Amino acid sequence: MRQLAIATLVLLNGLPGIGKSTLAREVVAIEPSITVVEVDDFRAGRSDFATDVAKIEARSAALDAIDALLASGQDVIVPQYLGRPDFVESMTEVAERRGARFVHAIVVGSSALAIERFRQRRFQLAESDRAHPEAEVPDDLIDDAIRTAAARLRELSERGAIREVESVTALAGLFD
């Protein structure tokens, strides 16, 4: 009798604008059985998009979706900057409850690159009348926000086992 594979939940963390979603989509192009859950999609279109309430409700809805996917044996990747351990812990709990493997990975990249991409993304989204996921960050504080995010990620890295990824191949390997 063949054993069922254990589902894997990968949190793909990293600086805002560093390319987490792009890497996730590239992995799915190689391995379509993996599902991407974008937390920001759960708050898109809301008038209160940038509020803490919208962020909390989006995370809750994302956790519900992740739970359902893992319950069905589906591999999941969540590209999301998380600088605080509470949501990481919630994702870990969902994976444990479903008997899935949890991997916390960080996309490697410089703060300067993240700042440049953050600004580009904000401009592109503004041209299409869509809100930037970090719309509440004023333009003149983007550099500080990215540096603060980098410091939080360093703190998280020091707390536990986090894998660093730089490529689609390395990310896809986390599902093996």
175 assigned to some structural domain:
no
Given this model, what pLDDT does residue 86 score?
86
Query: In Å, what is the CA distance from 114 to each residue of 32, 54, 97, 99, 123?
Result: 27, 24, 34, 34, 14
CATH number for the domain harbouring residue 60: 3.40.50.300
Total domain count, the chain: 1
Q: What is the pTM of this model?
A: 0.81
- Domain membership of residue 115 (yes or no) is yes
Looking at residue 27, what is its pLDDT?
A: 93
* Of the candidates 164, 11, 4, the residue with the CA atom closest to the CA atom of residue 76: 11
In a domain, 43, yes or no: yes
Q: For residue 98, what pLDDT is reported?
A: 95
Say what the pLDDT of residue 99 is: 95
Structural domain span for residue 154: 8-170
pLDDT at 1: 35
**Along the 176 residues of the chain, how does pLDDT read in single tens digits?**
334 568 999 999 988 888 899 999 999 999 999 999 999 889 887 778 778 888 889 999 999 999 999 999 999 999 998 777 788 899 999 999 999 999 999 887 788 888 888 888 888 877 877 666 666 777 888 888 888 888 887 777 777 667 778 778 888 888 87
2 found inside a domain:
no
1 occurs within a structural domain:
no
Q: Can you give the pLDDT at residue 34?
A: 95
DSSP per-residue letters across 35-93: EE--GGGGTTT-TTTTSHHHHHHHHHHHHHHHHHHHHTT-EEEEE----SHHHHHHHHH
Which of 92, 72, 64 has the alpha carbon at shortest distance from 159? 92
Q: Is residue 67 part of a domain?
A: yes
